[in-house]
C-alpha cells in the first residue's frame, strides 16, 4: 500500500489519459479523455501509484502571462484521508513557484477548507447548474462565431490568454461557438452532459437570451458554471428550470497578475478557470 509520508510523486504523460479518466469518472466528474489530454500535453500532471494503479492526481495548467490553474485533484476512494491530495497540490505549487506562476483553483467547500491553510485566498464564487431536458431540439443552432472572436473576448474579460485551450475546445467534434447580439459562448461535449462556457454578454438579459437559444437547440443535459455575483443571470437560470448542483470558491495563491475588464457570466469550467 502507499506510504502516506513517502508516496512517490511522478509526472504523467499522454499514455496515462485513460487512467486519469477512470479517477474523474469515479468522482462523477464531467471530464472526457480529450480534457485529460489537454492537461497532459499542455500542463504538468502529477500522480501517485499504488503498484501499477494510478490512485491520485493533480494538474497544473499554465497560461501565458505567468498564471496557472491547479485542478484534477483526485484520489481514489480507497486511498483518501492519507494526505495524498495535499502532497500533490504542494508539488504543483512548487512547480509553479519555480516557474514564477501565480496559481489559481476552483474549490468545493471541502476543498476550500484545505486550500485556505495552504495560503490560497478566496476571490469570486461560482455555482454549477444543470438542466435536464429530453425534448428534441426545437430551433436551429444560434449563429456561429469564429474561435478568434471568443479568444479575444475571453482575453479582454479575464486578463488570461487561453487561445490554445479554447482553440482545442472549438476543434473537437460537437463543439460550437455561438453568438447572438452582444453575447458569445462555447458549447462542448462532456462525459455525461454538454457544457456551456465560457459565456460573455453585455448584460444579464443578453446572457439569458443566449442560454435560452442554446437550450432550444440542444436535446440533452447541460451544465454551466455561472459566476455567483451575476445575480440576475443566476436567478433567471433557476427560474427557467436549471438546478444548482454545487458551489465553487475561486482561490488564488500568490499576487494578482491577471486583471480582467469584464465579469463573465459563466466560466470555462472549474478545472480550466
> Residue 33: CA atoms inside 13 Å, Cβ hemisphere, count?
6
- CATH homologous superfamily, domain 9-100: Gcn5-related N-acetyltransferase (GNAT) (3.40.630.30)
pLDDT of residue 1: 37
HEC-encoded secondary structure of the chain = CCCCCCCCEEECCHHHHHHHHHHHHHCCCCCCHHHHHHHHHHCEEEEEEECCEEEEEEEEEEECCCEEEEEEEEECHHHCCCCHHHHHHHHHHHHHHHHCCEEEEEECHHHHHHHHHHCCEEEEEEEEEEECCCCCCCCCCCEECCHHHHHHHHHHHHCCCCHHHHHHHHCCCCCEEEEECCEEEEEECCCCCEEEEEEECCCHHHHHHHHHHHHHCCCCCEEEEEECCCHHHHHHHHHCCCEEEEEEEEEEECCCCCCCCCCCCECCCCCCC
pLDDT of residue 256: 80
Cβ neighbors of 127 (< 8 A, separation 6 or more) are 225, 226, 228, 234, 244, 246, 247, 248
The residues spanned by each domain of the chain are 9-100, 127-253
pLDDT of residue 260: 75
pLDDT of residue 192: 96
Q: Do domains 9-100 and 127-253 have the same CATH topology?
A: yes
Q: Give 10-residue mean pLDDT values along the chain (273 residues).
A: 66 98 97 98 97 97 95 96 94 97 94 90 96 70 84 94 96 95 96 98 97 92 98 98 97 83 94 95
C-beta of residue 112 within 8 angstroms of C-beta of residue 241: no
pLDDT of residue 5: 58
Architecture of domain 127-253: 3-Layer(aba) Sandwich (3.40)
Amino acid at each position: 500500500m502507499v506510504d502516506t509520508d513517502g508516496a512517490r510523486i511522478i509526472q504523467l504523460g499522454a499514455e496515462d489519459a485513460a487512467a486519469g479518466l477512470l479517477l474523474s469518472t469515479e468522482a462523477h466528474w464531467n471530464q472526457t479523455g480529450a480534457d485529460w489530454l489537454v492537461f497532459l500535453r499542455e500542463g504538468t500532471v502529477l500522480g501517485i501509484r499504488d503498484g501499477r494503479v494510478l490512485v491520485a492526481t493533480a494538474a497544473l495548467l499554465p497560461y501565458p502571462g505567468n498564471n496557472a490553474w491547479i485542478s484534477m485533484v483526485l484520489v481514489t476512494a480507497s486511498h483518501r484521508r492519507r494526505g495524498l491530495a495535499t502532497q500533490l497540490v504542494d508539488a504543483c505549487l512548487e512547480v509553479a513557484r519555480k516557474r514564477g506562476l501565480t496559481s489559481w483553483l476552483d474549490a468545493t467547500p471541502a476543498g476550500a477548507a484545505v486550500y485556505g491553510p495552504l495560503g490560497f485566498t478566496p476571490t469570486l464564487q461560482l455555482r454549477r447548474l444543470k438542466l435536464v431536458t429530453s425534448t428534441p431540439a426545437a430551433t436551429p443552432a444560434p449563429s456561429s462565431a469564429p474561435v478568434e472572436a471568443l479568444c479575444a473576448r475571453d482575453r479582454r474579460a479575464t486578463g488570461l490568454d487561453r487561445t490554445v485551450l479554447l482553440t482545442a475546445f472549438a476543434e473537437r467534434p460537437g463543439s460550437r461557438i455561438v453568438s447572438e447580439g452582444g453575447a458569445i459562448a462555447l458549447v462542448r461535449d462532456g462525459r455525461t452532459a454538454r457544457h456551456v462556457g465560457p459565456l460573455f454578454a453585455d448584460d444579464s438579459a443578453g446572457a439569458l437570451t443566449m442560454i435560452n437559444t442554446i437550450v432550444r437547440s440542444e436535446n440533452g443535459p447541460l451544465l454551466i458554471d455561472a459566476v455567483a455575483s451575476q445575480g440576475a443571470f443566476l436567478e433567471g437560470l433557476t427560474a427557467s428550470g436549471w438546478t444548482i448542483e454545487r458551489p465553487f470558491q475561486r482561490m488564488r495563491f500568490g499576487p494578482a497578475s491577471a486583471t480582467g475588464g469584464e465579469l463573465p457570466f459563466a466560466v470555462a469550467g472549474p478545472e480550466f478557470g
